[in-house]
């Protein structure tokens, strides 16, 4: 046995002499390629967001990416997901970044890290923690000392976790991106980029490949690039790849060509059409990039879901929140299933490098579990003891969510009427004064919705002493462009008729706490009420249960409901808004379901529940349902689509 072991050591030792055996990943500026262990190397990578996929599915998705023939994955790290309060960190369960990185290593995939601190990603505030806004005049993504202090503190926690995982240190991280498309941000603060560069070098060492990514035009690259950071670009399918790389070449005359975000599809906004990119166009574009010898990362390869309140929003000229689904029309669907696009891409890759033999794992079974019926638990305003256990804030004029340290979800703003309002009288917000939607009731009667940028007033009537309630919903913070400081709540005064309303009582709501503890299903007596007449049932909680015999993924269709938030077994599935579309069904991962116990479903409907409140668990998604508005942008799927912040 000892002899056998010795023989093995000798053989391995002779195959890997020490000199060239040390792993190394660098750039060869003469041969214009990456050098991996001394050999020219090109990566064919795909983006996957672990924070949009339940952790028990991570391995499945990575295996499918490996089987497609990818040799690398590119990942973002969202700061706000891991540091929910200053100095409080979460790296457990679905937040366990190191577990995810271990899986990439086990599957033999290389990793291109994009730790931010800003990531965009159509994620709340582009990954920056909303608590940064506690300092109202903070300059984000710039050399503001308070911003840098928070950044440095975060990097001192995150980057040391990555260091032993760098390729040169025996791990699988080949390169690390600094900031993200910084050239698209108006600040153009080279001092900030230099500061990040210093911090990344301090924690990661001098030999790791650090890079930047920007849109492929000079006006992006100008402020996004920095000496010693390798400049790369991003663009979708194009006719002429040489031309598409010209801007990169002006800033990076030598070294490998890299498209860090080759767009597989595009994101969806509530109220727009579902974005699709045909498989043939995407795979032809990929072929052209690979023929040019470039390294490429496909964005997204697996999009996943904006569970909870994590979606971001864009602000081309009005506020446009991103849908709950981040399917992205990617090669793997939101539920991780291979598509024709994946097969087309695999066949392109196989022309350039061997792809693993064997079949791609098939789609996971999807279940049609059928109908769920609901009971009304109560109007939200009657459940404040449970949902807002702390003392309310009492102030003359309304304060923001950030002032109340209520960063996500909902806050109830109450104002007691000081006189009768017998005639319909407009309750009005200043232009864009409600971030982002306010659900208006008086004396428990629902009157309608105030919506940022579009619905400025609602007529109400009421009696002296009644509560005028505005339940305000944070629909997700802006993730791109110059409006990153997106304070939530009532950010201006409300007027009733001609009077500015004063003396507010504000209740920050914590629905996720009680619901994750089993409420309202643990209540013996549910409050049953008949739906109200008028303009809608208004904000209220409903609960239902369902039993299943087999566990698998399914899709929740909130048939005839209007808008709200939904939880299954305490897990926050995200927002539904079928009347606005295009997303009609919500992805329900089988990992949250039970076949030994009854499954509990809880709904916060904000506007109007159906007379007969029921929902369906169906076996296929609908992401392209009716939308009430026309597509406002062009169909061009590229970075150009977001150029508006620079012009
Ligand atoms: C990652 O893998 C290492 C080495 O096998 C192990 O020691 C560590 O516990 C793993 N970490 C996690 C979070 O799984
Ligand atoms: C692609 O663009 C390059 C550089 O602009 C140009 O020289 C070349 O002729 C173009 N190729 C085609 C097929 O149009
Ligand atoms: C509110 O009522 C006034 C009349 O009092 C009417 O002119 C106006 O159109 C109403 N506004 C809405 C939004 O219904
Ligand atoms: C509300 O109105 C008062 C009185 O005009 C003013 O002092 C205050 O700044 C206003 N608040 C906001 C948020 O606009
Ligand atoms: C649903 O709620 C009931 C009542 O609290 C509880 O007994 C059961 O465990 C819950 N089901 C699941 C899957 O958590
Ligand atoms: C419903 O809305 C309309 C239009 O705003 C209004 O005229 C009517 O009074 C409202 N009805 C109730 C019961 O709120
Ligand atoms: C929605 O997508 C499905 C499945 O891809 C397709 O069959 C259907 O025609 C699409 N509907 C619309 C309105 O585009």
Cα of 333 from ligand 5 centre, angstroms: 30
| Structure confidence by residue, pLDDT tens digits, 318-360 | 999 999 999 999 999 999 999 999 999 999 999 999 999 999 9
| Structure confidence by residue, pLDDT tens digits, 29-84 | 999 999 999 999 999 999 999 999 999 999 999 999 999 999 999 999 999 999 99
E strand map for 436-498: 437-442, 445-451, 457-462, 467-473, 489-490, 494-496
pLDDT of residue 533: 56
Residue 353 and residue 433 in one domain: no
pLDDT of residue 526: 53
Choose which residue among 55, 91, 93, 102 to substitute to test ligand 1 binding: the one with the highest number of ligand atoms within 8 A of its C-beta.
Answer: 102
Mean pLDDT of the chain: 93
pLDDT of residue 5: 35
Residue 260 and residue 194 in one domain: yes
Closest atom of ligand 6 to CA, residue 445: 14
pLDDT of 593 over the 60 cut: yes
Residue 178 Cα to chain centre, angstroms: 19
Cα of 76 from ligand 6 centre, angstroms: 47
Strand pairing class (494-496; 499-500) = antiparallel
Domain membership of residue 636 (yes or no) is no
Cα of 420 from ligand 4 centre, angstroms: 24
Picking from 508, 535, 557, the residue at the C-terminal end of a domain is 508
Residues whose CB falls within 8 Å of the CB of residue 13, separated by 6 or more in sequence, listed in order = none
Choose which residue among 369, 592, 598 to substitute to test ligand 5 binding: the one with the highest number of ligand atoms within 8 A of its C-beta.
Answer: 598
Closest residue by CA, ligand 1 atom 7:
102
Domain membership of residue 531 (yes or no) is yes
Residue 527 and residue 415 in one domain: no
pLDDT of 616 over the 60 cut: yes
φ, ψ of residue 383 in degrees (nearest 5): -115, 20
Counting ligands in written order, which one lies closest to the CA of residue 537? 6
Select from 388, 375, 378, 436 the least CA-distant residue to 414: 388
Domain membership of residue 631 (yes or no) is no
Residue 399 and residue 374 in one domain: no
Residues whose CB falls within 8 Å of the CB of residue 116, separated by 6 or more in sequence, listed in order = 76, 77, 78, 79, 127, 179, 180
pLDDT of residue 18: 43
Is 447 touching ligand 6 by the criterion CB < 6 Å? yes
Cα of 494 from ligand 4 centre, angstroms: 9
Picking from 480, 508, 536, the residue at the C-terminal end of a domain is 508
pLDDT of residue 627: 57
User: What is the domain-level CATH number for residue 556?
Assistant: 2.60.120.260
Is 139 touching ligand 4 by the criterion CB < 6 Å? no
List, chain by chain if needed, residues with CB within 6 Å of any ligand 2 atom.
240, 242-243
Choose which residue among 242, 247, 249 to substitute to test ligand 2 binding: the one with the highest number of ligand atoms within 8 A of its C-beta.
Answer: 242
Closest atom of ligand 4 to CA, residue 491: 13
- Mean pLDDT along residues 599-615: 96
Closest residue by CA, ligand 1 atom 11:
99
Domain membership of residue 637 (yes or no) is no
Is 534 touching ligand 6 by the criterion CB < 6 Å? yes
Residue 71 and residue 119 in one domain: yes
Task: Give me the residue label for tokens 């300092």.
Answer: 135
Residue 311 and residue 353 in one domain: yes
What is the domain count for the chain? 3
pLDDT of residue 535: 83
Domain membership of residue 383 (yes or no) is no
Grade residue 98 by pLDDT with cuts at 50, 70 and 90: very high
Residue 260 and residue 210 in one domain: yes
Grade residue 522 by pLDDT with cuts at 50, 70 and 90: confident
Q: Token pair for residue 582?
A: 């295009």
Cα of 585 from ligand 7 centre, angstroms: 13
Residue 344 and residue 261 in one domain: yes
CA dihedral sign, ordered 106, 355, 302, 236: positive
Choose which residue among 82, 98, 107, 165 to substitute to test ligand 1 binding: the one with the highest number of ligand atoms within 8 A of its C-beta.
Answer: 98
Is 461 touching ligand 3 by the criterion CB < 6 Å? no
CA dihedral sign, ordered 113, 119, 124, 129: positive
| Structure confidence by residue, pLDDT tens digits, 553-567 | 999 999 999 999 999
**E strand or H helix that includes residue 61:** helix 58-68
Task: Please identify every residue annotated as catalytic.
Answer: 181, 261
Grade residue 525 by pLDDT with cuts at 50, 70 and 90: low
Q: From residue 198, give the alpha-carbon distance in Å to each of 112, 120, 152, 310.
A: 19, 22, 11, 30
Cα of 554 from ligand 7 centre, angstroms: 18
Closest residue by CA, ligand 5 atom 14:
569
Cα of 327 from ligand 7 centre, angstroms: 15
Cα of 342 from ligand 1 centre, angstroms: 30
Grade residue 20 by pLDDT with cuts at 50, 70 and 90: low
- Mean pLDDT along residues 425-443: 97
pLDDT of residue 455: 86
Domain membership of residue 626 (yes or no) is no
- Mean pLDDT along residues 239-265: 97
Residue 119 and residue 204 in one domain: yes
Residue 551 and residue 496 in one domain: no
Show the domain range for 570. 370-378+512-618
Q: What is the pTM of this model?
A: 0.94
Rounded-to-integer distance, Cα 638 and Cα 237, Å: 8
Domain membership of residue 483 (yes or no) is yes
| Structure confidence by residue, pLDDT tens digits, 277-329 | 999 999 999 999 999 999 999 999 999 999 999 999 999 999 999 999 999 99
Residue 553 and residue 566 in one domain: yes
Instruction: Please list, residue by residue across 126-146, b when 16 or more beta carbons sit within 10 angstroms of its beta carbon and e when fewer do.
Output: bbbbbbbbeeeebbbbbebee
Closest atom of ligand 1 to CA, residue 96: 13
Closest atom of ligand 3 to CA, residue 426: 1
pLDDT of residue 389: 87
Closest residue by CA, ligand 3 atom 13:
458
Residue 171 and residue 260 in one domain: yes
List, chain by chain if needed, residues with CB within 6 Å of any ligand 5 atom.
518, 521-522, 569, 594, 597-600
Domain membership of residue 490 (yes or no) is yes
């Amino acid at each position: 046995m000892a002899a056998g072991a010795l023989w093995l050591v000798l053989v391995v030792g002779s195959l890997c002499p020490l000199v060239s055996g040390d792993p190394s990943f660098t750039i060869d500026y003469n041969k214009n390629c990456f050098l991996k262990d001394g050999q020219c190397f090109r990566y064919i990578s795909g983006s996957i967001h672990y924070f949009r996929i339940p952790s028990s599915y991570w391995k499945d998705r990575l295996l499918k990416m490996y089987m497609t023939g990818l040799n690398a994955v590119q990942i973002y790290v969202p700061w706000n997901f891991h540091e929910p309060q200053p100095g409080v960190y979460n790296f457990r369960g679905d937040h366990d970044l190191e577990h995810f990185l271990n899986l990439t290593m086990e599957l033999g995939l290389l990793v291109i890290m994009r730790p931010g601190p800003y990531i965009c990603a159509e994620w709340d505030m582009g990954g920056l923690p909303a608590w940064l806004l506690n300092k109202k005049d903070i300059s984000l993504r710039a050399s503001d000392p308070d911003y840098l202090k928070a950044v440095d503190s975060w990097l001192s926690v995150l980057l040391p976790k990555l260091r032993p995982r760098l390729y040169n240190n025996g791990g699988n991280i080949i390169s690390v991106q600094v900031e993200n498309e910084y050239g698209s941000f108006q600040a153009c603060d080279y001092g900030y980029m230099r500061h990040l560069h210093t911090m990344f070098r301090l924690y990661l060492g001098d030999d790791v490949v650090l890079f930047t990514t920007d849109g492929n035009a000079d006006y992006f690259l100008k402020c996004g690039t920095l000496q010693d950071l390798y400049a790369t670009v991003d663009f979708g399918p194009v006719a002429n790849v040489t031309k598409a790389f010209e801007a990169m070449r002006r800033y990076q005359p030598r070294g490998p060509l890299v498209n860090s975000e080759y767009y597989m599809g595009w994101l969806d906004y509530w109220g727009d059409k579902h974005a699709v990119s045909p498989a043939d166009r995407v795979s032809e574009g990929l072929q052209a990039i690979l023929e040019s010898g470039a390294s490429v990362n496909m964005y997204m390869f697996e999009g996943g879901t904006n569970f909870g309140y994590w979606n971001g929003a864009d602000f081309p000229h009005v506020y446009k929140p991103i849908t709950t689904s981040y399917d992205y029309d990617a090669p793997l669907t939101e539920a991780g299933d291979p598509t024709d696009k994946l097969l087309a891409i695999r066949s392109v890759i196989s022309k350039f490098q061997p792809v693993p033999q064997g079949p791609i794992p098939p789609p996971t079974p999807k279940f049609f579990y059928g109908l769920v019926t609901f009971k009304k638990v109560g109007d939200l305003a009657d459940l404040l003891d449970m949902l807002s256990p702390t003392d309310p804030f009492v102030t003359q004029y309304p304060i923001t969510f950030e002032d109340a340290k209520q960063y996500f979800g909902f806050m109830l703003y109450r104002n007691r009427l000081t006189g009768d309002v017998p005639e319909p009288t407009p309750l009005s917000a200043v232009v864009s004064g409600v971030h982002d939607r306010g659900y208006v009731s008086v004396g428990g009667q629902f009157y309608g919705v105030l919506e940022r940028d579009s619905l400025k007033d609602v007529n109400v009537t009421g009696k002296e002493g009644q509560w005028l309630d505005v339940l305000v919903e944070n629909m997700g913070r802006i993730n791109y462009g110059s409006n990153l400081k997106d304070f939530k709540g009532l950010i201006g005064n409300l007027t009733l008729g001609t009077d500015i309303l004063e003396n507010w009582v504000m209740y920050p709501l914590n629905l996720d706490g009680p619901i994750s503890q089993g409420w309202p299903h643990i209540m013996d007596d549910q409050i049953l009420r008949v739906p109200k007449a008028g303009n809608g049932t208004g904000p209220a909680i409903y609960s239902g249960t369902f039993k299943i015999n087999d566990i698998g993924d399914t899709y929740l269709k909130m048939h005839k409901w209007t808008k709200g938030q939904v939880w299954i077994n305490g897990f926050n599935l995200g927002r539904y808004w079928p009347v606005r579309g295009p997303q009609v069904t919500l992805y329900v991962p089988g990992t949250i379901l039970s076949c030994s116990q009854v499954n509990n479903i809880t709904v916060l409907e904000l506007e109007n529940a159906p007379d007969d409140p029921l929902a369906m668990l169906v076996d296929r998604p609908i992401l392209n349902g009716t939308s009430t508005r026309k597509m406002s942008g062009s169909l061009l799927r590229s970075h150009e689509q977001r150029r508006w912040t620079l012009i």
